Amino acid sequence: MTVEGSDRYMREVGAADPLERMISALRMGDGTDAGIANGIEMAAQRWRSLPRAQVAGRARSGRTTVAKALGLQPGAETAPVDEPGFPDPVLDADILIYVLASTPSPGDRRILGSLPPERTLVVLNKADAIGTGWADAVAAAEQYSRAFGLPTFPIVGTLAARTVAGALREPDLELLRRHARNGSLSAVSAEAFVSPVAGPDTEERAQLLERWDLYGLACVLAALEREPGLSPQTVLQILHTVSGIEPVAKLLGLRYQQAISRRAGVFVDELTRLAARAVPQGASRARTLITEYLDTDEAKWLGLCGGLADPEVSHLAAGYPRLEPENADDALARAIRWRAVVASDMSPAARRAAVRVHNGYVRVWERMSSVGL
């Protein structure tokens, strides 16, 4: 369950958006309240805007290719890091994807050591060129993951990007079927793949090599040897899988959800500060209206999501299959557990996050059990 998910237990049935109601009520107040309404509206826009991702790395590491393979917006890649004569780019996005294409340099190590773990993932690009097989690339990625404390994945970015942007044509697949059936084609090197010894279709094989790379074609040949009747769509899916991009995309999706949840927590923090600063005077109702909103189901849910995304306590929710409890008993069990967390020895920031998680699950329990109706 994400911040933007549909939670039937945490929505006010038949009611207008409680945030919009609060903003409208503030706009009808005096000048001070109207100014606070503007501030809340700007904070809400920041919360609701899409998280931003950056793809960073050294020159020629494959930043643009990785961005395309992950379907990111154009311009997600930064300027090269550790470039002589140039400052490093500012890495301040909600999600950071760092691209390695070889053994990390001292500059890579310096930058990776400074990045926040909860917002960063690393891809070891050009994995087909590491060692003598995929297992070597996996071992290298695991080594870097332990060294930097960051999740690291081996990928072949060029192949992944081509599976997103292109399709394998039936004539090309038939050519590969024929060679797989005859055992006449070798993919041990580019030279062997286009060698005239394999037959007169040298030009067609050269074009295939340019489009799909040797690693991808070697995987297709191996698959066709076992199952000659594979369709173009199935082969394309095989290529997408062997590129290694799927686990990266899965974690990237999770990072997006976490970024949205963190923004929800920041939004609740901003409202809490505004309520504390809104000293009641004259006809001003700002503190009352903001406090009332912070007690709504929506605000409790935002606080819960933001609390669970806080890096100081997020590990305590690692076992939850989803944010939303299965039933009222599950909600109550979670609330009791987080009450114990609140009572433990922790930093003020961690305790604030845990309190919001506890209060959120109490409210969910009330809605699921009808106690709060």
Q: What is the 3-state secondary structure (H, E, C) of 18-35?
A: HHHHHHHHHHCCCHHHHH
Residue 135: predicted pLDDT: 95
Distance, CA of 8 to CA of 288 (rounded, Å): 27
> What's the mean pLDDT when you consider all of the chain?
91
pLDDT category at 184 given cuts 50, 70, 90 is confident
| 278, 284 contact by CB (below 8 A) | yes
- φ, ψ at 100 (rounded to 5°): -105, 145
For residue 256, the surrounding DSSP H or E stretch is helix 245-277
Residue 68: predicted pLDDT: 95
Residue 3: predicted pLDDT: 58
- Range of lowest pLDDT (7-11, 22-26, 48-52, 115-119): 7-11
Mean pLDDT on 170-184: 90
**Whether residue 6 has pLDDT greater than 80:** no
Taking only the tens place, the pLDDT of each residue in 108-135 is 999 999 999 999 999 999 999 999 889 9
Distance, CA of 285 to CA of 33 (rounded, Å): 7
Taking only the tens place, the pLDDT of each residue in 99-109 is 999 899 999 99
Share of the chain above pLDDT 90, in %: 80
Question: 309 burial class (0-12, 13-18, 19+ CB within 10 angstroms)?
Answer: buried
Mean pLDDT on 274-288: 89
Of residues 183, 169, 130, the one with CA closest to residue 153 = 130
Would you tell me how many other CB atoms lie within 10 Å of the CB of residue 84? Answer: 6
Taking only the tens place, the pLDDT of each residue in 63-113 is 999 999 999 988 899 999 999 999 999 999 999 999 999 899 999 999 999
Of residues 269 and 3, more confidently modeled:
269
Residue 302: predicted pLDDT: 96
Residue 32: predicted pLDDT: 87
Distance, CA of 185 to CA of 227 (rounded, Å): 17
Taking only the tens place, the pLDDT of each residue in 245-257 is 999 999 999 999 9
Of residues 206 and 281, more confidently modeled:
206
> CA neighbours within 13 Å on the CB side: how many for 15?
14
For residue 302, the surrounding DSSP H or E stretch is helix 297-309
Of residues 51, 43, 50, the one with CA closest to residue 19 = 43
Mean pLDDT on 332-357: 96
pLDDT category at 16 given cuts 50, 70, 90 is low
Residue 146: predicted pLDDT: 97
Residue 24: predicted pLDDT: 93
Residue 90: predicted pLDDT: 96
Q: What is the 3-state secondary structure (H, E, C) of 62-79?
A: CHHHHHHHCCCCCCCECC
